[in-house]
Amino acid sequence: MSAWTRADGPVLRISELSVRFLVRTSFFSSRPIAAVTDVSLDLAVGETVAVVGESGSGKTTLGRAALRLVEASAGQVIFEGADIAGFRGAELRSFRQRAQAIFQDPFSSLSPYMRVGELVEEPLVIHGPSSRSEREALVLAALEQVKLTPASDFVEKYPHTLSGGQRQRVSIARAMVLRPDYLVADEPVSMIDASSRAEILYLLKDLQAQQELTFLYITHDLASARHFADRIAVMYAGRIVELAPAAQLIEAARHPYAKALLAAVPGPDPANRLRQRPVVGGEPPDAGALPSGCAFHPRCPVAIRGTCETIVPPLIALADGYQVACHLYPADSSEGASDGAADEAGASDGAASMTSSAASRPGSSASG
């Protein structure tokens, strides 16, 4: 476990991070794709921050950049006070040991040609210890930790003989065997059946409590984010548009996009199958040709003409740790409501009014 504490500040600080990719459009030309743009986010020791949004919003790219699995085009990722872009040799090796990932698909992230014991042991082969007997003991302990018991029965099995939930537990064991301080969990429960999802999330919570882990939890499932995360960041077109404590965001989202995501979450009411769900009209924008101003304005039911399509709204701080990037909440208002209170009420009504025209289009959906 790291000696870094909450008193030392955020264990991870993402500052104005941008990630651009070049996509080939023809044999001789290419164009830039803005996957992540000017994202700033702090994670305290032992904290879980969930990043939610539709597919293509930049969630996974943000997580990969925070692990230096992709290079940042601009900005910084500061881990325990040091910029990870400057890590070389032993520093980079130490960071790789202390920052791990749990990937979305256990069916593709685990090699079908390796036994469970070999899969969990592989990080130890790279980072140590050198003793085979020590590594085997650590493998068994990691499998016991993720409730794959008796561990001796699982080490000789191949992934194809395991259920989806068991495979994801193997992925977690492989990440935890090095005893990391920081974990990026990229939709860790989306590929497994509903009965196993709660078990996996409770397991991650238990491991976090035992080792004071810091989580960046990437998901499209707002329900799991509410129960698993301390704070939720909503991303759209590569930018964070809302950041708030989890319970507050779920109960009283400010940004029209966050409201629409929440409205699209199905409730446990059988009558809902006869009701049309409110969804966001249109499709997420092309990352290579983002709209001017607020990228959400072509789909927003309460866009302010002359403002939203010309000016990119900054992420401003409201009361109680809330941050939102929306012209309904002017930057010169500490509470963000002086000029936007009436528009906020309109945004609530507007999110519900998306049903009729947008829901009839087959490609229109909001991921919850």
pLDDT at position 77 over 70 = yes
CATH topology of domain 9-235: Rossmann fold (3.40.50)
Instruction: Specify the range with the lowest mean pLDDT, choosing from 2-6, 38-42, 89-93.
Output: 2-6
DSSP per-residue string spanning 152-196: HHHTT--GGGS-HHHHHHHHHHHHHTT--SEEEEESTTTTS-HHH
DSSP per-residue string spanning 44-79: -TT-EEEEE-STTSSHHHHHHHTTTSS--SEEEEEE
pLDDT at position 340 over 50 = no
pLDDT at position 358 over 70 = no
75: phi then psi, degrees, rounded to nearest 5: 85, -175
Percent above pLDDT 90 for the chain: 59
Continuous segment of H or E residues that includes residue 100: strand 99-102
pLDDT tens-digit profile of 89-113? 999 999 999 999 998 888 888 999 9
Question: Three-state SS for 265?
Answer: coil
Are residues 334 and 322 in contact, defined by beta-carbon separation less than 8 angstroms? no
Tokens 């500052």, residue located? 15
Instruction: Specify the range with the lowest mean pLDDT, choosing from 125-129, 308-312, 334-338.
Output: 334-338
pLDDT tens-digit profile of 258-306? 998 888 887 777 877 787 776 777 888 888 889 999 999 999 989 999 9
Q: Which residue has the higher pLDDT, 359 or 122?
A: 122
Tokens 């698909």, residue located? 105
**Domain locations in the chain?**
9-235, 254-359
Q: Which residue has the higher pLDDT, 344 or 67?
A: 67
Question: Which pTM value belongs to this model?
Answer: 0.85
Are residues 273 and 256 in contact, defined by beta-carbon separation less than 8 angstroms? no
